[in-house]
Chains A and B, each alone.
Chain A
């Protein structure tokens, strides 16, 4: 774990802070979100608590509106100081399949997303894939190769996930910083390409 000296800490606070940008790391429980953030963050991943809105499947009989509740979830994040004026934040968000989590708060303004998949439990990632697709957020699907080799070929996985060719599918190792970096770069290249087309 490297630490980077903070740029010109200013006692007066008068200087401009670095520009913060963020990316979202999503996926089911145990797929390697925290590991991914830890591999590349310059701080030990921190956990904070965020409120998310849950939309329960049923409809409230009294109001005829979807029943919404607010739940507190642990969300971990890390940071990479790319240069003294630019900080990249990574937010690892819990994503489960049984609820329509509203991550709007987390993804607003994000540069892109990485959905992590464990091929042994593919369906855990559908909520995140659907969500990013609906939001129009540039994202890639990263297959975390837990034991260094993959039982399926990539085309099979793509078919099973039912993602279009426009969504990059990458193999990566959540424990290896260079591998995480490269997976994030795939997302960013896609974001750049999209922005250039706008």
Chain B
């Protein structure tokens, strides 16, 4: 690992820099010897700690697709549901690639996370584009109930629903239990 630290550190910085234009204004623009080597050693084997895959291929796309903008939509939770409106369907032929794909996919309610995965887009790109499409009236965006985790009736419904999920032999939780 020691021999490749330098190279992977530099690659790590490159990924960060590619993401930063839309996430955050860049703080340092060139890999100057001083701060760069210090942060490279501070962050060690970033950005792929312990082998969890860190995809580099998409790292520049967010900036290109969203033209560097960040909207309030970047705070929308992952499970936020997105649904196409009639106006969105009518506008489909006029929409550009990513916007077209999002509006087409959301004829059925989809979460932001599912959208990102299906369309192979970075989550934050989907957030920004969904925010734009909502502003244009092409989508409705339904953020989850903020206090769901403290709502007794929601918790009970989730528990009841999950109990009814059969295991691989077709038994529900309650069948499984001694009578």
**Interface positions of A (Cβ within 8 A of B):** 6, 9-22, 28-30, 40, 43, 46-51, 54, 56-58, 60-62, 67, 69-75, 77, 79-80, 82-83, 86-89, 91, 94, 96-99, 105-106, 108-112, 176-179, 181-182, 184-185, 188-189, 191-192, 195-196, 198
Q: Is the interface of A mostly helix, strand, loop or mixed?
A: mixed
Quick check: is B104 within 8 A (CB to CB) of the other chain? no
Question: Among A12, A19, A48, A179, which residue has the most Cβ atoms of chain B within 10 A?
Answer: A48
Is B19 an interface residue when CB atoms closer than 8 A count as contact? yes
CB-based contact B52/A51 at 8 Å? no
Say yes or no for B69: interface residue by CB 8 A criterion. no
Given contacts A12-B85, A69-B43, A109-B77, contact A191 B149 (CB under 8 A): yes
Residues of B within 8 A of A11 (CB): 86, 89, 107
CA distance A49 to B124 in the complex (A): 9
Instruction: List the interface of chain B (C-beta within 8 A of A).
Output: 12, 15-16, 19-20, 23-24, 35, 38-39, 42-47, 49-55, 58-59, 77-81, 83-86, 88-89, 106-109, 111, 113-114, 116-118, 122-124, 139-140, 142, 144-146, 148-152, 154-159, 161-169, 171, 173, 176
A168: min CB distance to chain B, Å: 15
Pick the contact of A70 from B24, B142, B165 — CB < 8 Å?
B24
Q: Say yes or no: B46 contacts A69, CB within 8 Å.
A: yes
Interchain nearest-CB distance for A186 vs B (Å): 11
B15 and A72 contacting across the interface, CB-CB below 8 Å:
yes
A110 — which chain B residues lie within 8 A by C-beta?
149
Contact of A20 among B42, B49, B80, B116 (CB under 8 A): B80
Choose among A10, A21, A178 the residue that contacts B79 (Cβ–Cβ < 8 A): A21
A172 CB, nearest partner CB in chain B, Å: 12
> Are A13 and B144 in contact, CB atoms less than 8 angstroms apart?
no
B144→A21 contact, CB < 8 A: yes
7 A-B pairs with the lowest CB-CB distances in the bound complex, closest first:
A178-B167, A82-B161, A46-B117, A17-B109, A17-B81, A58-B42, A20-B79
